[in-house]
Structure 1
Amino acid sequence: MNFGVREKGPDSKTEKQLKPVKKTSKLNANYRSDTEGVDDHRENILFEELVMRKIFFWIILLVVAVPVTAVEVGEPAPEFSLQASDGKSYTLSDFKDKQAVVIAWYPKAFTKGCTIECKSLAENGHLIREYDVTYFMASTDELEDNKKFADAQKADFPLLSDPSGAVAEAYGVKMPVLNMAKRVTFYIGKDGNILKVDEDIKPATSAEDMARTLGELGVAKK
């Protein structure tokens, strides 16, 4: 006779055996949920890195792909009228039929390469001044930044400021996306035409190289 006490039988053993299975399944489900969350997080990070790499790649491609200069040797140099670090404004056409002009474009004031280039021109400018020429450095920096830069490097020549980048663009040296100029030097004759476009600038010997180039181009000495 059964008084409410359940007899142990095959069915009850099966129930006891199934209980751990149910708990294990629950743990496995939680584990899968946690690992899936980690995987999703990793996928998001990898996706973001991939997007940033593509953006960086296209920026570099634009910088490299665009032609370095918009003017060629023998063509008239684009006109400009810009303020300089010495407090004056300079207009290219004012030098026509009077003196040769050199414009050394540089990317950014106080950066390493530009500082080295400016120091070279300041410390060895006497080599350039042997020739009948006016020479400038030029950038898209604000005027006040170029004044500070010129003072810091003791530059005894004008640094032109083209903050809008319009003149740099006219010369074909403005970098795409960035409002910065490439490091390119233009030699302009008395007739206002381009004598040479130098894209291979060595900042440490800028003054010596500029003086040598002026001699090679036949620019008269003073």
Structure 2
Amino acid sequence: MLIPLLLTGLLSGATPNVGDTAPDFTVKDTEGKVYILSEMVKQGPVIVAFFPKAFTSGCTKELKAYTARHSEIEKLQGRVLAFSTDDAETLARFKADLKAPFPFIPDPDGKVVESYDVKMPVATISKRYTFVVGEGRKVLKVDSGGDAVDPSSAITSCSQAKPASPFVAPAAAKETPPAPKAPAAEAKSKQ
């Protein structure tokens, strides 16, 4: 009786939920490019997609769907990072096979997988989870299992993320002051 309770406690816990702050990470993709989550979210939402194994049917279907809808994600200033515990060579072949336009991140030691608490109980393999992470690393959406195969809700969540603020030069802001609204309201109340 005690062992099932202990196992339940070990297996549950730290998976980020909507509204939580996503764990930060600094990772390299299959081409050696570095990605830092806390920097990426300053430009727009990031879809952190964990998948179990390259070249399997469910993972192929999921990543093909992200590939097919990638332009929609880009229009929303979103980016996709596809994580697996596969090695870099396997993921590079999988990415090339899919013609995926987004980075594949090898996590063979399961460090990021463990920080998101999406590791399968026995093996160092990721469960299928998708997190949409917005400004300040706030989790906007979480999908798991079969729900994570279809990117529709992740894309919808990207559209609800606060877009990156464009820089406005101080001089430009002074040149166009807002039009006063008070006189029009006063004129109406006097009538």
Q: TM-score, length-normalised on structure 1?
A: 0.64
Q: CA deviation at 1:191?
A: 1.2
Match of 1:142 in 2: 87
Q: Secondary structure at the match of 1:122?
A: helix
Number of residue pairs aligned between Structure 1 and Structure 2: 159
Partner of 2:65: 120
Q: Which amino acid aligns with 1:101?
A: V
Task: Give the SS at the match of 2:137.
Answer: coil
2:186: which partner in 1? none
Query: Deviation at 1:71?
Result: 2.0
Say which of 187, 200, 205 aligns to 2:132. Answer: 187
5 Å-filtered alignment, 1:104-115, equals 104-115=49-60
Match of 1:214 in 2: 158
**Structure 1 residue 178 and structure 2 residue 134: aligned?**
no
Q: Report the CA distance shift for 1:204/1:93 in structure 2 as closer, same or farther (over 3 A).
A: closer
Percent same amino acid among aligned pairs? 33
Could you report, residue by residue, the CA deviation over 1:173-192 in whole angstroms, capped at 9, with x for unpaired residues? 01111110111101111111
1:83 equivalenced with 2:28 (yes/no)? yes
Specify the structure having the higher radius of gyration (Cα): 1
SS in 2 for 1:167: helix
* Distance apart, 1:204 and its partner CA: 5.9
Q: After the TM superposition, which of the residue ranges 119-128 and 145-154 deviates more from structure 2?
A: 119-128
Distance 2:38 2:157 in 1: 22
Provide the aligned C-alpha RMSD in A: 2.6
TM-score (norm 2): 0.73
Runs of 4+ in structure 1 deviating by more than 6 angstroms, as ranges, are none
- The unaligned stretches of length 5 or more in structure 2 are 167-191
Contact 1:165 1:180 (C-alpha < 8 Å) held by counterparts = yes
Deviations 1:88-125 (A, max 9, x none): 12111222433221101100111110011111111221
- Residue 150 of structure 2, aligned match among 184, 198, 205: 205
Q: Counterpart in 1 of 2:106?
A: 161
- Which structure 1 residue ranges, 5 or more long, are not aligned? 1-57
Q: Is the 8 A contact 1:184 1:200 kept in 2?
A: yes
